Amino acid sequence: MKEPKGCTIERLDNDACKAVLNWVRKEGESCQEGTFPWLLAHCHDGVTWGRFDIVTKDWLLSSKPFPTLCPQVSESNLLEIRLFGSEREILIWQTETGFSGRCLIDKKEQDNNDPCRPDNETRILLGDRVLETSKGGFTCVGTARGLKQAVPLECTDNDFAEGRWPLRVTMRHYFEQDDETGAVRVAASRLVTIFKEN
């Protein structure tokens, strides 16, 4: 399978995946620090957001300020984790025999006239109210139905005024075209950033 246009994909074996997880848990050496400002981990027992602190050179995870809502990231409970930023994303997932992963990196040269060039999509994140005030740069937000998460942003009630859903995540899609039919499809996607819309 050829790579989609606009990116390079590097495969990560079990050892490389464990090195990234050890870095996130502060048990190992830095892996490309500064290139990934954000983290999103899906675990068996919940979702944990994170952000990289450029001053301390450590990952700050929502499991510290909100331990009853967000699980600790560990090898035993991790389903999938994404470290992401403007130019690249590391995606690691649990398999029956350990971990597998990939690093997706934007190519520097992009042809803006190419119909298969990468394209961004903005999605709305869960949350129309603050449930708990910000702690350590994380805010517990939720909905009237009782759904909640702790996002790596400082939010106030004003951000959610008049029933607004201001939290957003940007995704980047990479495309490939079938040589025979000309059909274009999404071949890979990654996270780029999380933010509040004003």
Q: What is the pLDDT of residues 81-133, one digit of tens each?
A: 999 999 999 999 999 999 999 999 999 877 777 878 899 999 999 999 999 99
Mean pLDDT, rounded, for 33-62:
92
The token pair at 187 is 């071949």
pLDDT higher than threshold 80 for residue 29: no
Q: What's the pLDDT score for residue 4? A: 83
pLDDT higher than threshold 60 for residue 45: yes
The model's pLDDT over 150-174, given as tens digits with 9 standing for 90+, comes to 999 999 999 999 989 999 999 999 9
The token pair at 104 is 């997706």
The span from the CA of 53 to the CA of 59, in Å, is 6
The residues with which 49 forms a beta bridge, in sequence order, are 40
What's the chain's average pLDDT? 92
The residues with which 36 forms a beta bridge, in sequence order, are none
pLDDT higher than threshold 70 for residue 33: no
**How would DSSP label each residue in 124-178?**
EPS-SEEEEEEETTEEEEE-TTS-EEEESS---GGGGGGG---EEEEEEEEEEE-
Contact, 125 vs 151, CB < 8 A? yes
pLDDT higher than threshold 80 for residue 31: no
Q: What's the pLDDT score for residue 3? A: 77
What is the tally of helices (H) and strands (E) in the chain? Answer: 1, 13
Mean pLDDT, rounded, for 185-189:
92
Q: How far is CA 62 from CA 21, 110, 122, 126, in A?
A: 16, 35, 23, 16
